Amino acid sequence: MITAHSYAAPRVVMVLGDSLSAGYGLARGEGWVDLLQTRLNERNTNVRVVNASISGDTTDGALTRLPAALQTHRPNIVIVELGANDGLRGQPIAKMHGNLIAIANQCRRAGAKVLMVGMQLPPNYGPAYTEQFARTYPTVSEHLKLQLVPFFFAGIADNRSYFQADQLHPNAKAQPILLENVWAELQPLLTNPN
C-alpha cells in the first residue's frame, strides 16, 4: 500500500543520553530506545530513531560531541536524557544547568525540537543537592519552553525488582515503563511537525 509518506525521507528522533538509554546490561533490542523504534514501526510513522547515547556520559561529554551528532543525523527531535552521571559524581548543579541549556539551544539552532527527560538522585546525596538536581530539569524546560518528562523513573524508582544487580540501571522488565514515560511527552512532538 502506498501512503502519503512512502517516498518521503523519514523524520529522525535522536536520543542523546547515557547508560540509561544506551541499553547498559540489557540484551540487544530490550532497551526503551529499541522499543520506541518498534512502536513507531508498528504505527507506520516513517520515523527513524538514532541512539546517540553513551554509557557513562555527562552533560559535559554530550555537549562536546553534540555538533558532530547533529550534523551526522540531522534530527527533527532530540530526546535529552542526561545528568545522572553529573549527579552521581557530585558535579556542580550550575554547570549541569548551563550544559543542558547549551545542548537544547544547539539542537534548536539545528532545527530540532527538544524533549528533556527529568531525573532524580538517591537521597544519600543530601537533601540540598538532590533537590537542586531534581529542580534543574523543570527550571531549564520552563525557561526554554521545552517538552519535559517530569521523572524518567516514574513507576519504577521505589521498586527494586525493576533494577539490575547494581540497583542503578533498570532491567528489561522496566524498559516498557520507561518507554511509556517518554512516549507521553514525545507524542505531541511527533503529531505536531511544526
Buried b (16+ CB within 10 A) or exposed e, 75-105: bbbbbbbbbbbbbeeebebeebbebbbebbe
| pLDDT on residue 7 | 55
Prediction pTM value: 0.94
Q: Residue 4 falls within a domain, yes or no?
A: no
CATH number where 50 lies: 3.40.50.1110
Q: Residue 6 falls within a domain, yes or no?
A: no
| DSSP β-bridge partners for residue 13 | 49, 77
Q: Residue 194 falls within a domain, yes or no?
A: no
Q: Residue 1 falls within a domain, yes or no?
A: no
Residue whose C-alpha cell is 507524542: 187
Q: Residue 2 falls within a domain, yes or no?
A: no
Q: Is 143 a catalytic residue?
A: no
Which of 18, 19, 73, 86 does the annotation list as catalytic?
A: 19
E strand spans, the chain: 11-17, 47-51, 77-81, 113-117, 147-149
Q: What is the pLDDT along the chain (194 residues), one digit of tens a residue?
A: 444 444 577 899 999 999 999 999 999 999 999 999 999 999 989 999 999 999 999 999 999 999 999 999 999 999 999 999 999 999 999 999 999 999 999 999 999 999 999 999 988 888 999 999 999 999 999 999 999 999 999 999 999 999 999 999 999 999 999 999 999 999 999 987 65
| pLDDT on residue 193 | 60
Is 12 exposed, middle or buried (CB count within 10 Å of its CB: 0-12, 13-18, 19+)? Answer: middle
Q: Is 60 a catalytic residue?
A: no
**Distance between CA atoms of residues 74 and 69, nearest Å:** 8
Q: Residue 91 falls within a domain, yes or no?
A: yes
**Distance between CA atoms of residues 18 and 173, nearest Å:** 19
- Total count of domains within the chain: 1
Q: Is 19 a catalytic residue?
A: yes
Which of 6, 158, 161, 166 does the annotation list as catalytic?
A: 166
* Tens-digit pLDDT profile for residues 110-155: 999 999 999 999 888 889 999 999 999 999 999 999 999 999 999 9
**Domain assignment of residue 87, given as a range:** 11-189
